[in-house]
Structure formats: structure tokens, C-alpha cells
A = this chain, B = another copy of it.
């Protein structure tokens, strides 16, 4: 069985900004309110998640993820309003691509 799949890449000024794997992390941060727990859920190292988050914040030139220090559990993290908007927009693109992909897979003739 032959299938077409589409990977979504979002570039900002030519630089890779968001892709499925980074968006997966943003979703997990939103859900868990913690970078450490998000990292555990995705089986990423804590350092790796920090690197991804710092890179996203740097390219965005405004915070996407806001780190919250202290508190009872410590090390919390949440999405900024801009981060939420990015996630909503990516989710919307993903839904459109899924519809497009279904249509495409019905039409291909390999």
C-alpha cells in the first residue's frame, strides 16, 4: 500500500521555526505546565527540551514559552499568548493538510 504523507515545516526568515516534533513539545508544555514533565512524557532529555525551547524563543524574537522559576513544584513553564496563537495556527494548518492529504491519497496512482 502506497501512501503520501506531508510534513509541515514553518520557517521564519528562512530558518526552521516549527515542525511536528517541536509543536508536540509545545502541546505537552501547555498540558503539563512543566518543562521537566513534558520532557519525561516525550522521553527527551531535560537539556534537549531546554535547547528546543531556547531556540524557538530566539527565532520568534519574543517569548513562546515562559519559564516560571520557584513555586511549590519549581521549574514550571507555560505558553505565552503568542505561543498559544502559534499552536492554534499550527493545529489549523495541520487540519487543512489532513483533509488535503486524504484527498491526495484517494487520487494517487502509483
Q: How many copies does the complex hold?
A: 2
Q: Which residues of A25-43 have CB atoms within 8 Å of chain B's CB atoms?
A: none
Answer yes or no: A81 CB below 8 A from chain B CBs.
Answer: no
Measured between alpha carbons, how far is A41 from B85 in the docked complex, in Å?
43
Question: Which residues of B lie under 8 Å from residue A69 when comparing CB positions?
Answer: none
- Assess the A5–B11 pair: CB atoms within 8 A: yes
Question: Which residues of B lie under 8 Å from residue A13 when comparing CB positions?
Answer: 1
Interface residues on A, range: 20 to 34
Answer yes or no: A52 CB below 8 A from chain B CBs.
Answer: no
- Where the two chains meet, the residues of A that have a C-beta atom closer than 8 Å to any C-beta of B are 1-13, 17, 85-86, 89, 93, 96-97, 100, 104, 108-110
